[in-house]
Amino acid sequence: MLYLRSILFNTFFWVGTPLLILFILVPLMLCRTDRPIRRVILWWGGVVFWMLEHLVNIKIEIRGQENIPKDKGFILCAKHMSNIDAFIAFSQAPTLTALGKKELFMVPGLGHVLKKLGVISIDRQSGTAHKVTPQVAKIIHDGKLPLLVYPEGTRTLIGERRRLKSGAFHIQEGRDIPVITLASNSGQHWMKRNFRKIPGTIVAEFHPPLPRGLDKISFMQQMTREIVQRSEELMHHK
């Protein structure tokens, strides 16, 4: 039964999401602002959460919402194990923006939607991504926007550890930009490269802002504790 339910959910998600982009989000680019697109994404995330719970028995538990700044821009550094991660972040910070690989902007439809949402294109392959750091810091500080960052760079598997990238440290350096970390056990239930969905509870845990003025080594060590180690604890104990 779980096998069949997983097939049904995957069909719903991987067919429904492209259709949503093509027939709803792309036409909404004609609107003056990005608000209609964001409303639809927020709605779609709610639909996905509902389908997870009622079709494959996966619930979403969000902790620490009180740690999310409401009146200023901030950087959200999150654990990334699953396709559900971005929907969870968006549900708590609907105005968020992000850094996106330039290759994503070449995908028909998707690239245009990303531009409308203000996602910032970076070229990781050229080694020049660091040059946009001052621009990114100004955008999120002046616009009071949340910036979603995955310090691991890509989705990870259970037990896999990657050295965290230091982009968030450089963006916040010299500006009053809080850095919030997000731990999660999402990979236990919606795994990378595995179509099976495992029943249970996905826990997403937002932590208080990192202390201001940390040197780079201390900053990265605390990020590792709050993102990597805490996520591993959630996978074992919750």
Residue 59's DSSP bridge partners are 201
180-233 pLDDT tens trace: 999 999 999 999 888 999 999 999 999 999 999 999 999 999 999 999 999 999
For the ranges 64-73, 107-116, 138-147, the lowest mean pLDDT is seen at 107-116
- Helix, strand, coil percentages in the chain from 3-state DSSP, rounded to 5: 50, 15, 35
Q: Which fold has domain 58-236?
A: Glycerol-3-phosphate (1)-acyltransferase (3.40.1130)
Under 8 Å between Cβ of 190 and 41 = no
The DSSP bridge pattern shows strands 179-184 and 200-206 to be antiparallel
Record the pTM: 0.92
For the ranges 60-69, 71-80, 106-115, the lowest mean pLDDT is seen at 106-115
123-182 pLDDT tens trace: 766 555 566 788 889 999 999 999 999 999 889 999 899 999 999 999 999 888 999 999
How many residues belong to the chain? 238
